[in-house]
Amino acid sequence: MTRPSDASVEMIRRLIGFDTTSRNSNLELIHWIRDYLKDLGADSELVYNDERTKANLYATLGPTDRPGIALSGHTDVVPIDGQDWTVDPWRVSEADGKLFGRGTCDMKSFVAICLAYAPRFAAAELSEPVHLAFSYDEEIGCVGVRPLLAHLAGKPIRPRMAIIGEPTDMKVVNAHKGKLSHTCRVRGFECHSSLAPTGVNAIEYATRLIGKLIEMAEDKAKNGPFDADYDVPHTTIHTGLIQGGTALNIVPRDCAFDFEFRNLPVDDPDALMRQVTDYAEQVLVPKMQAIRPNTGIEFEFYSAFAGLDTPADHEVVQLAKALTGGNSTAKVAFGTEAGLISQAGIPSVVCGPGSIDQAHKPDEFVALEQLALCERFMERLIERLAA
């Protein structure tokens, strides 16, 4: 079986040892990477959050007077809470040709291999630079990459393309769905349930709005638009959480629910959201306020990320295919930072070791063979950029 280098495995072990669950700071990890790259002669720029408890890192290996190629990934991981792990999630263990640990798949292995190859990037006479862009809080809505992109927008030179190393089995992904999610809060008027018609039942009005979302979802499933390259070939609309009421004999005053759109890149999630708000404001709220004036429906933005739709003939797609040795591309339903990066004017693809099927699960793992393929990807990149 093909096995990666000891240097890459050791780097993975080191990165997994940092508990960078999104609720925690990632600064210990980021500062370690900064110091590691500084020893190679690369100065890192840190872009902090407002509280300065987390930071993105941006570093350049090679010439600094030309755009170059960005290798990008996030440093945070999802929680292990409530999961039944049989191994220590913060210490890499190896068995059956796999490395186990939180983040081995999603996505510290890619970050680690970038760092393991950094000495070779630094030593090579590259015709154009390799940029390393590592973000925070991707897992809770692609939070960190936004200030990083704002920082890059103010630079005179920035990458001309990017490869985001989320787990794709080292296949080139040139498109993925976008996401827009909101919390809806319905405020009714409570009273004794024997007098229900004099109150405004927040749960019932919430379910009417959820019914509208279901109708919209059914319309998308029936009428599209469709893209057969996706596992689910149409935009999906989903309600995932609802809370409301206090007791059966009280007409509920409050109800809240969370819902999301997972849209094809050709579908406009803002237009879908307007259908929801128009229905609430024009149909439901007038009925509620005809009974009690101090009632209503409010929407609170929850999270969003842009879809990705890089043309199959774009240079970044062709480069990534050459680096993997493959001839095909794929589209995926899960989202990444690639959509936002591409939207910021840096054409992007997604390509990294491991399978998304292993992400976020207990006993998360990455196959050693996948890591070896990623190393070959880096070797081809060096060969291509060597002067």
Residues assigned a catalytic role: 76, 138
Task: Provide the sign of the torsion angle of the four alpha carbons 364, 134, 236, 79, taken in this order.
Answer: positive
Strand order in the sheet with 365-367: 93-95, 98-100, 365-367
